[in-house]
Amino acid sequence: MNLVCVDCGQEIPLEDFKYQCSCGGLLEVSHDFSNIDADYLKSVFHERLSERMSKQASGVWRYKELIYPGLPDEYIVTKYEGNTGLYTSEPIREHLGIRQLYFKAQSENPSGSFKDNGMTVAVSHGRSLGYKRFSCTSTGNTSSSLAMYASMADCGSYVFVPDKNISMNKVLQTLAYGAEVIRFEGTYDNGIKFLEQYSEELGLYICNSINPFRIEGQKSIIYEIAQTLKWELPDWIIIPGGALSNVSASARG
């Protein structure tokens, strides 16, 4: 495993972790799957479905070999995220006139959104690097997910919230998990730029979608869908878009 710039292709060792390449491009995790035995892994993933209280009971860490195989289990912070239902709706299917239709209910995650799939990996990676302070800019789901996992890791969480267009319910959920919420004037993008500039100085590990390990965790959603459908993927997967991290994660899955 290493990090690769999506723009210039530069490779960066994991031990030199950063959020961006020197050229300004975002980074993604690169795996060598050339020696993977797919049938063997499918059997392992099937066996892990019966796990209840281990790390592998998570719908993310069940697929550890495809997400972060080298991470020691002692650093994993999990609330058994994932394992969300795949449901059908005959009325909607008939109305649309299509053969099959499924809904992946990511709201069944512990903090209420798909952000948990990525946050478990990001916070676990941050712990492995020795971080004790985790941060994000958020208008909603990211903040509550970060605060939940940081609390489980007995670490601090610092959430930067713009003064407009935020979900107060999510802010309250974030506070309930013990996060320090900092309100600022400006937009979400202003908050990201602040963290990019000052996170190292402040000792903060950034958990926004510029973090490639967030993306690695979110790709587990595709693995879950495939496993539930006996390793057959749908012809189309429709995903609501904001920062589009889930789109890129799904493509990687």
Alpha helices in 100-176 (DSSP H): 115-128, 141-152, 168-176
CATH class held by domain 31-83+110-252: alpha beta
Residues 10-30: what's their mean pLDDT? 94
Identity of residue 242: G
pLDDT exceeds cutoff 80 at 101: yes
Q: Please report the pLDDT score of residue 243 as a whole number.
A: 65
Place of tokens 């996060």: 179
Reported as a single tens digit per residue, the pLDDT across 166-222 is: 778 888 999 999 999 999 998 888 999 999 999 999 999 999 999 999 999 999 999
pTM above 0.85, yes or no: yes
Domain positions in the chain are 31-83+110-252
Reduced to 3 states (helix: H, G, I; strand: E, B; else coil), residue 30 is strand
- DSSP per residue, 69-106: TTS-GGG----------EE--HHHHHHHT-S---EE-G
